[in-house]
Every structure is written in structure tokens, then in C-alpha cells.
Structure 1
């Protein structure tokens, strides 16, 4: 469904050049949940931004349903592909109510029946109508991220790009949002591309994953290989070891 070939992203500021993504390639099938993992600065979030047109593509090709994506992305693309950002405190306009946040994409795309769509979107993410006219400062972090998920889903897209969707949330709230995303994917047959530094999150959510370091692909793993800790490269093995965390034996 989505095919990324030899993707290059270079940022320039004056004479300074940052080669953020270096020749990344992967394919995501319809209905699959695909993970991209790596340390901070590895380029994983930039890959998502390049897919949705928020980062410049300096080389390579991104194809959707076999067709190269236009630059800039058109309205038809955003009707089918939506993104959920990392920080629920920054991704919602502080002076817009939840109703305004959900109404805007419907107006842009020319959807009718907005009233029912907003009500249904809020119910699907477990908020209900009592939240409709609240402002972001009246919501918890988990509630804000549910609104962000509702905003992404209200256009009934086929693909969700998830950029660390739970990293800014408390551990207990993370589980709620991940379970919500899991349920919605099963109910709607959605395709996910999930970026995370947390291997436990990726193992829970994704069938396959790509490991990145310094803008490059290190290796691709299936979920079973990840859970069996059957990595092929030293870098992935170190990531797996780091994900285990502190133990008394390590400190001895």
C-alpha cells in the first residue's frame, strides 16, 4: 500500500546541511501495522514527515497504491492519510474547542453530515459529547491525545502515521491510548506506521519494524524475531538490551 524507495531528506540552513534520512526503503501492506524504531535523532520521525509532505524529499520515491505521491501533497492524499503527532499539548490549538478541532478537517474536505460525524468520532475514542465544547486546557494529556486521534479518524482515512503517540503520556495513560489504537485498527482495517523509541510499544502494536540509526536503515525485523531477541546487528542488540532496563546484576 505504501512503498518507500531510497528516501533521502536533507535540511539546509545557509551553508549548513543536515542529512537526516539516508537511502531508507521499506514497504507497508494494506492493514499492516509497521514500526520504525531508533534513538532520538535517528531520523525516524523525519521519515513520517516526508511521507505526509512536512519534510523536504531530497531523493528517492514514495508511492501510495503504486502511484508516486505529488509534491506538494494534494487534498486527496490527506483524505486517505492522516498523522497523529507526539505532543498532545502542542498539536491542538489552545483557543479552539474540541468541536472546532474536529469541524475544521470536515470543512476543508467538504464533508456533509458534520454533526453526526463529530458525535461518532468522540464516541469512538471514548470521550462522549460532554467533551465537545471544552478547550485543550480543560483536558488531561490522555484526553487531548484521544481528541488528536479523533481528528485523524474523522475523515475515515486508510493510513495513520503515528509519531510517538504515547511518549508524552503517563505509563497508565499510554496503555489506554495504545489499546484504543489497537481496537480502532481492528474495527476499521486501518494501516499504521508507528514511530517509537520504545521497543515494548512496537512489539505490542506492530507485525514488522525497521531499526534506524543516524538516518540509515540498520535492519528489518518481524515481531516474533523482536520478541525472541533474534537481532542480526550489534546496534539492534544494544537497543534490545537497553530496553530491558536496570537490574541489580548489571550494577554488581
Structure 2
């Protein structure tokens, strides 16, 4: 089994606060891996550290057998790893058309064939070419998040980092976007690392998960174990109870 992302002994410190404390996780290629925990547990910080958006104090991050140094990420990294953020309202430029926002990563990476890629990306996220010249304020929240996903896919990455990608959306739209992500992962054989506070979402989307608390991983288990109640930590049980909409079975 090939490892897509390996994090070992990862520590992230802001001033005197340890946001991550010697965290280790391994994610297999093609796997969907969940990070769960209460607010402030460190799950989003871990995702951001992999993306180069959080300062690493100690430890190593390896992505597809390449060790990443510090916060700098080269263009090759962003060709293979893309991130979808929580807020579809904040992640798109309000004064740029969809077309322009999809062209931008292609221009940065010197990738040609823009017309074909844009049409393919829009089609893949269930939006037609009629959306190309709209502005974000002309789109619903779900449509904006679909555009954000299309922008992440347009460089044809192998790994997607998903930071609560549906938590800002209505419940009905949330299900549509999760199903879209699942379909995309199957079609493209992608690796997902997904942060969520909602255990129902994680058990639906992910094969395995790490439970985080206070900047540490306190439990690792499969989604099947979680659903069956094969849980070792009271903290995980409490998360399960608190997670709105979580259903056993």
C-alpha cells in the first residue's frame, strides 16, 4: 500500500501556544481520511501545515515520498495537492468571473488547454458552461463551493485537502456537495484528507479517521468501528453524542 501523506512528530507553535503537539498520521494513496475533534483540537491546523499555511516547529511531512521543508511549497506540490476551504463566500474573488478564477491556476502553472479544462471542470462539478461568466454574488452557496472544487480540480491533483467543505451550506446542499466529492474521488482515484466536526459526514465520506484533542491524536479508528461503537476513548464517544445528525448503523 503506497503512502500518499505521512506526518510524523509534527509540532506547530504560535508564540507559547502549541496548536499541534507531536502529531503523526499516515494516509494511503486513494484513501479518504478524516480528522475530527472539537473546535481548537488542531485538526484544521494539521491540514494547513500540510498545505504550507501553518509554521512547523518540529517534525516531518512527506507527500508522495517527497519530504516538505518549512512552509515553502513549490509549484510541483500545488500541481499534486489542492485545498478546498470551508467558506465558499470568502474563497472566491468577488470581482472576478468564474472563468477568470478557473484560468488563474492554469496561468500560474503555465498549463495550456484552458478552454477544454474549464469546460471539463465545470461539467465535473455539475455546472454548465453558462456559469463561466458569472460573478460569485450571482451564485448560491452550493454553486460557489462547486466552483471552488472545480478550481481545485483543474490542475488535476492527486490529493485534495478539505477543510469542513460543507459546514457553511444548508443541509440539503451539503449532501449534494458531499456526493459530488465522493463521485470525483472515485472517478479520479484521489486521496482525500477531510476535516470535519460532524461525525456523520466523516463516516459517510472517510475510510479511517484520527480523533484530535488539544493538538494531539487521541484515537485512530475506522469508520466501521465508529459506527459499530468499537471506540476506546470517552472523548470520542462524547463527540459522537454531540455530533448533530450522527446515526448508528
- With the shorter chain as reference, the TM-score category is over 0.9
Structure 1 residues 204-219: aligned runs within 5 Å: 204-219=204-219
Q: 1:22 maps to what in 2?
A: 21
Q: Shift in Å at residue 64 of structure 1? A: 1.3
* C-alpha displacement of 1:7: 0.6
Give the superposition deviation at 1:11: 1.2
Note the residue ranges of structure 2 that are not aligned, 5 or more in a row.
Answer: none
TM-score, with length taken from structure 2: 0.95
Partner of 2:54: 55
Q: CA RMSD in A?
A: 1.1
Instruction: Tell me how far 1:70 sits from its aligned partner.
Output: 3.0
What TM-score does the superposition give when structure 1 sets the normalisation length? 0.94
- What is the CA distance between 1:245 and its match in structure 2? 6.5
Contact 1:106 1:155 in 2 (8 A): yes
1:4 to 3, 7, 17: 7
- CA shift, 1:65, in A, is 2.0
1:56-135, aligned counterparts within 5 Å? 56-71=55-70, 72-135=72-135
**1:229·1:240 contact (CA, 8 Å) conserved in 2?**
no
8 Å Cα contact 2:198/2:244 also seen in 1: no
Q: Matches of 1:190 and 1:202 in 2, distance apart?
A: 16
Contact preservation (8 Å) 1:208, 1:223: yes
Give the deviation of 1:240 after TM superposition: 1.2
Paired residue for 1:250? Answer: none
Counterparts of 1:36 and 1:244, CA distance in 2 = 17
DSSP-derived class of the 2:146 partner: helix
CA distance in 2, matches of 1:26, 1:91: 27
Indicate conservation of the 8 Å contact 2:33/2:192, yes or no.
yes
